[in-house]
Chain A
Amino acid sequence: MTRWLRTLGAGFMARVGRLGRTGVFFGQTLLYCLTPPIKVERVLRQVWFIGWKSMLVIALTGTFTGMVLSLQGFPTLRRVGSEALLGPLVALALIRELGPVLTALMVTGRAGSSLAAELGMMRTNEQIDALELLGLNPLRYLVVPNLLAALLALPVLTVMFDVIGILGGYLVGVRLLGLNEGTYFGEMSNYVETKDVVGGIYKALSFGVLIMWVCCYKGYYSRSGAEGVSAATTQAVVTASVLILVWDYFVTSLVF
């Protein structure tokens, strides 16, 4: 009984310790984001890596999401005689919800996993220790540029996803299913408000912070060796993806 309690207590304390370390990691990273020096060159390099290199996958995902929204939405709306609302349906679904969430999930899969693995390898190969011994703060040098780059890249990628998705919806709704072009875009401008767009941007920003926090943390504290890096990468992607969906609910209830 005593041994069981001791094991339970040790497990609980280890979890509390890890939670505390996660919080300290996030707090320190935020503090370093707000205080100079900022490695601008590294930030730009990470914008290229997180943003520019994700564009193709975002364009493809956005196009087909918009297309399938139209394909599903048009017959449903026609059943109630409201096919004119296809444009607002596609636009609002993308701008308020699918754009930010799917962009964040794609960035997690493409860039977040890669960053977790890279940091994990740097931990395994003692490059993080080497940075520390050279007098450089590894968080400031390795993590802060990723967070700042994600804050710059995620909103742009999300807007791009929305625009391409709306065009994908146009291709199917107007060109394939025969809805009037003026109706598709005209109704959209009647229903989509500024707060929808701003809300989507807020979501994108918060997802950017979440992805980098989780993925960089998992990589930074990865166990040594191939198995450790592999586990850290998997945990990073799974945890970030789940948290994006959970956080999406809360941020939606707050913003909209």
Chain B
Amino acid sequence: MFGFIGLLLHYKQEYSFEKRRKQSTVLAFGIIITILMVLSTIALFQVPWSAFLS
């Protein structure tokens, strides 16, 4: 995820001639995906896997 943001910051420089930038949208996506990754990890540890294995 941080790699993607780094990539986009590189492209921000690359596309610096363009006035219309929507960096905030990209950051919003980054934050949403990071939150979802954290929630998925929490949800993973909430599942009682032993109940399914036995």
Partners in one complex: no
**Could you tell me which A residues sit within 8 Å of B by CB distance?**
none
**Could you tell me which B residues sit within 8 Å of A by CB distance?**
none
